[in-house]
Amino acid sequence: MEIVLPDKSYEIIVKRHAIDSVGECIASLWQNKKIAIISDEHVFPLYGDKIQQQLTDYEVCHYTVPAGESSKSLEMANRLYDFLAEQQFTRSDAIIALGGGVVGDLASFVASTYMRGIAFVQIPTSLLAQVDSSIGGKTAVNSSKAKNMIGTFAQPDGVLIDPETLTTLPELRVREGIAEIIKCGAISDASLWKDLEKLTGIQDLLAHSEAIILKALQVKKTVVEEDEFDNGSRLLLNFGHTIGHAIENTAGYGTISHGEAVAIGMVKISQSAEEKKLSPAGITEKISAMNQKYQLPTRYQPWEAEKFYNAITHDKKARGNSLNIVLLKEIGQAYIKKIKLTEIKDFLIEGK
Ligand SMILES: NC(=O)c1ccc[n+]([C@@H]2O[C@H](COP(=O)([O-])OP(=O)(O)OC[C@H]3O[C@@H](n4cnc5c(N)ncnc54)[C@H](O)[C@@H]3O)[C@@H](O)[C@H]2O)c1
Ligand SMILES: [Zn+2]
């Protein structure tokens, strides 16, 4: 699959055991470069050696960050700049980001800012990173006040996705990725939705991961190609996220995962939209059933509408009095509705 943008195009390879041929892939992209593999403490021990062994034509070094969101910081970026400088990396050298979305966002942020930008390739190893964060060109670190506050738009030279890496991914993380795949089906691919309905559950999905990942990526690709810099239709990817983020922020760190919160967010926004005749009858039931099949939650208790409202308005305050929410016209088709900030309250009233 190719991502085609005005200033850059690049290949996304989705193939079981793709990591076994990473050497060929890199050789087709880069010559005479030093390469830094940036990874985390869980992923590097699993896949780092295998990758390094195939890069014998290059001078290769690696840096392993602690696993988890806290590594997505300016402090960590700074350590990586120092590391690259110590290794005498120049503008013609390159980075491989090997890991989940945290490593992907951090390493691509560093790549896009070190010496005003050096080349990088993404090798996403979590399902969420494979279907979502590794493509689209958004890089980020968190500030002390807010997630993803600091970042750039920077496209990789390539993305190599090996669904086989999901065999070592903890199940909670697999489910998180599935929530984003359900979202992709819901907003713009009824055939992906049907596939998800036909599969019997998580294991069956993993057995068919290549095809499913490709379809989910196709959804993201279309939106990103249309709206590289996130000024319009890319917002569709936010389905379930307005309420999802509010739940995440209110629940407190570690209580609920992003994917679980989004799963609940998709159900809740659809239920309210259904009641207001903004989405067709029965759609909430379909989303709930899909969540249940993949062991994702459908509701959050106790429901704290007031707190969620405060979280949403706090989030949006800087951006004015209105809010764009994403609703479904049907399964496979979403639309954006602009509402007044205060109107979101009506969407948060606890359902039956
Ligand atoms: N740039 C974007 O467009 C974008 C989009 C969505 C999310 N994100 C970001 O992605 C991040 C979340 O990504 P994530 O869910 O992948 O989190 P993550 O990178 O923390 O990975 C989750 C956990 O799984 C481990 N892991 C990853 N791959 C593994 C494997 N194959 N085997 C065993 N363990 C493995 C990691 O070490 C980590 O402990 C967030 O910071 C979010 O902001 C970015
Ligand atoms: Zn998400």
For residue 136, give the ligand 1 atom closest to its CA.
3
For residue 108, give the ligand 1 atom closest to its CA.
1
Q: Among 108, 110, 128, 123, which Cα is nearest to 177's? A: 128
For residue 138, give the ligand 1 atom closest to its CA.
1
Helix (H) or strand (E) holding 258: helix 258-275
Q: Which ligand is nearest to the CA of 257?
A: 1
Task: Give the CA distances from residue 157 to residues 3, 6, 81, 109, in Å, rounded to whole numbers and listed in that order.
Answer: 10, 14, 20, 14
232 SS3 class = coil
322 SS3 class = strand
Ligand 1 atom 3: residue of nearest CA: 133
Q: Which ligand is nearest to the CA of 262?
A: 2
What residues line ligand 1, using a CB cutoff of 6 Å?
A: 40, 42-43, 46, 67-69, 72, 99-103, 105, 125-126, 128-129, 132-133, 136, 138, 148, 165, 168-169, 173, 176
Q: Which ligand is nearest to the CA of 240?
A: 2
Q: Among 151, 126, 116, which Cα is nearest to 137's? A: 151
pLDDT tens for the chain, 352 residues long, are: 999 999 899 999 999 999 999 999 999 999 999 999 999 999 999 999 999 999 999 999 999 999 999 999 999 999 999 999 999 999 999 999 999 999 999 999 999 999 999 999 999 999 999 999 999 999 999 998 888 999 999 999 999 999 999 999 999 999 999 999 999 999 999 999 999 999 999 999 999 999 999 999 999 999 999 888 888 888 999 999 999 999 998 997 678 999 999 999 999 999 999 999 999 999 999 999 999 999 999 999 889 999 999 988 886 655 678 899 999 999 999 999 999 888 888 899 887 6
The distance from CA 334 to its chain's CA centroid, rounded to whole angstroms, is 19
Kindly list the structural domains of the chain, giving each domain's residue range(s) and its CATH number in brackets, ordered by start. 2-168 (3.40.50.1970), 171-348 (1.20.1090.10)
